Amino acid sequence: MNNTAEAPQQLEAISPISGAKVVFPTDAEVGELIDDPETGDELEIVSLNPPQLAPAPEEEEDWGE
Amino acid sequence: MSSPRVGVLCSLVRPEEKLLFQAFREQGVLFDRIDERTLLLNAYGNTRRQYDVVLERSVSHSRGYYAVRYLQGIGTRVVNTFQTIECCGDKALTTMALSEAGVPIPRSTVAFTPESALQAIEEIGYPVVMKPVVGSWGRLLSKINDRDAAEAVLEHKKVLGNYQHSIFYIQEFVQTNCSDIRAFVIGNECIAAIRRTSQHWVTNTARGGVASNFPVSAELNDICIRAARAVQGDVVAIDLFETQDGYLVNEVNSTMEFRNSIHTTGVNIPGRMVDYVRSILNEEDQTLQHAVGV
């Protein structure tokens, strides 16, 4: 169970894949996926405070509708 | 400050979940996110429910399925229910439920061996579509145009697939000029629909299908409500083929994706979903008031 708080503005974190600086969208949510600006890999926003990223989990066979 | 009465079950946040969070906030409904990756479904002890209503939005069918079953077991009202998720998550079960309810569907057969599957294919007639019973986003669909292709696909599925790929789900190929209808049902109403058109016979917008608005007629509303009831769905997306003889229901989705349909239809789909959750909360309040004699 986690928070429902709105994201602060202009958060950024370092990509764990490329080391590049990644700017979060202003309405970022924990669990949202964003692209690494250098490699294009998907990253998951795992925290807003402090802003943190992790490699996105790999898509599994039962995902989606 | 009171605790949220609403939970949203999800891990990864797609555009749909983001829009739903915004809609909850706009309507002043407090909610908690329940990340199924952190859940322990303890099947012992006296677990009290924490939320009156949980909206299931897990990207993973399997995780959502078990988590919802657990939540219902401790008395939580979940949208959609375990029964709906179970039925919609398996194309064979969906087909049986629709057929038993008298909802028009394409000719469909389930077979358990390559030999009986080939027999079923030839009875239906080429071309046919073969689908995994559990699968999503249009993956691993096969359009089989002749016997050579049928034998090859069946052998590959038998040898390379897991046991589920030996549950052979076979459906007639419905000629629709690479388009189908996606309709959104909330409660007792089909609130919006789109036509999906593609260069490919697989029309999912996740696979490049293009959406346009499709006005909801009385006929479309009627068949969609019947399909939703057949799977006991609260909030479901229904895929249909439009034929000269009327609509055929192809699939029913219990964790619907709608990112491409809000602007296209002009209908605030996430807002309507939150309205529905609020209506359930109101029903709970009225039931409680009745029980205590208020």
B14-47 residue pLDDT tens: 999 999 999 999 999 999 999 999 999 987 777 8
- pLDDT-derived band at B77 (thresholds 50, 70, 90) equals very high
pLDDT of B22 reads 97
| pLDDT mean values, one per 10 residues, chain A (65 residues) | 57 97 96 96 97 94 82
Distance from CA of A19 to the nearest CA of B (A): 22
Q: Which whole number is the average pLDDT over B221-245?
A: 98
Inter-chain CB proximity B12 and A29 less than 8 Å? no
Domain boundaries, position B248: 176-271
Smallest Cα–Cα separation from B195: which of B205, B185, B186, B187? Answer: B205
Inter-chain CB proximity A62 and B32 less than 8 Å? no
Residue A4 included in any domain: no
Q: How many domains does chain B have?
A: 2
Residue B52 included in any domain: no
Chain B positions touching A30 (Cβ under 8 A) are 13, 33
Q: pTM to 2 decimals?
A: 0.92
Chain B positions touching A55 (Cβ under 8 A) are none
**Are residues B185 and B266 both part of a single domain?**
yes
Chain A positions touching B139 (Cβ under 8 A) are 61
Please report, for the domain that includes residue A40, its CATH number: 2.20.28.160
Residue A33 included in any domain: yes
Distance from CA of A29 to the nearest CA of B (A): 7
**Are residues B152 and B194 both part of a single domain?**
no
**Are residues B204 and B224 both part of a single domain?**
yes
**Are residues B222 and B243 both part of a single domain?**
yes
**Are residues B166 and B180 both part of a single domain?**
no
**Are residues B200 and B255 both part of a single domain?**
yes
pLDDT of B136 reads 75
pLDDT digits 0-9 by tens, B270-289? 999 999 999 999 998 888 88
Please report, for the domain that includes residue B211, its CATH number: 3.30.470.20
pLDDT of B155 reads 93
Please report, for the domain that includes residue B161, its CATH number: 3.30.1490.20
Domain boundaries, position A43: 12-55
Distance from CA of A56 to the nearest CA of B (A): 9
What's chain B's average pLDDT?
A: 94
Residue A62 included in any domain: no
**Are residues B240 and B199 both part of a single domain?**
yes
Q: How many domains does chain A have?
A: 1
Residue A32 included in any domain: yes
pLDDT of A8 reads 53
Chain A positions touching B134 (Cβ under 8 A) are 61-62
Mark out chain A residues that contact chain B at CB-CB < 8 A. 1-4, 6, 27, 29-33, 44, 56-57, 60-65
pLDDT of A4 reads 55
Inter-chain CB proximity B21 and A57 less than 8 Å? no
Residue A6 included in any domain: no
- pLDDT-derived band at B164 (thresholds 50, 70, 90) equals confident
Which of A2, A6, A33 lies nearest to residue B33, judging by beta carbons? A2
**Concatenated DSSP letters of chain B:** -PPPSEEEE-SSB-HHHHHHHHHHHHTT--EEEE-GGG-----SS-PPP--SEEEE--SBHHHHHHHHHHHHHTT-EEES-HHHHHHHTSHHHHHHHHHHTT-----EEEESSHHHHHHHHHHH-SSEEEE-SS--TTTT-EEE-SHHHHHHHHHHHHHHS-GGGGSEEEEEPP--SSEEEEEEEETTEEEEEEEEE-SSS---GGGTPEEEE----HHHHHHHHHHHHHTT-SEEEEEEEEETTEEEEEEEESS---TTTHHHHT--HHHHHHHHHHHHHHHHHHHHHHHHT-
**Which residue do the tokens 């990340």 mark?**
B35
